[in-house]
Amino acid sequence: MYLTMGNILRTRQVGMLFIDFENQKRMRLNGEATISQEDPLMKEYPEAQFIVHVRAREVFANCPRYIHKMKLVQRSRFVPKNECSTPVPGWKKGEWVGDTLPAKDPAHDKSREVIDR
């Protein structure tokens, strides 16, 4: 969402929490990030709007005791794939958000499928 990317553009500082639900582990990463719309990696990620690079400053384990054990049953239909266009999530069609989306956002394309879930 733009809130996160806007913060990166402004401060370059990130804090990320990675959670492995299958193995009940988690890790923290703090660092400095940059955003690029011209990165060569763009072609590797269907429908990407930009690439974020993070230079790690600190990486450390984080207490896993409250992680519920889960496993992947099915990938979300909103994960972009080369074979098809990703549907637009229903929330992006709400009146409250329409005028805040970037001009190139797929939600503006009337031919895209809209899914509420």
> Is 70 part of any domain?
no
For the chain, the domain total comes to 2
Same domain? For 46 and 86 the reply is: no
What's the CA gap between 85 and 47, in Å, rounded?
8
pLDDT band at 104 (very low <50, low <70, confident <90, very high): confident
Domain limits for position 43: 1-64
Q: pLDDT tens digit string along 53-100?
A: 999 999 999 999 999 999 999 988 888 888 888 888 888 888 888 778
Q: pLDDT tens digit string along 13-50?
A: 999 999 999 999 999 999 999 999 999 999 998 888 89
Same domain? For 14 and 47 the reply is: yes
What's the CA gap between 64 and 66, in Å, rounded?
6
Same domain? For 16 and 45 the reply is: yes
- Model pTM score: 0.71
What is the predicted pLDDT for the residue at 24?
Answer: 95
What's the CA gap between 87 and 106, in Å, rounded?
9
Query: Contact, 39 vs 9, CB < 8 A?
Result: no
What is the predicted pLDDT for the residue at 92?
Answer: 87
CA 36 from chain centre, in angstroms, equals 15
Q: Which two tokens mark 96?
A: 């409250």
What's the CA gap between 50 and 109, in Å, rounded?
19
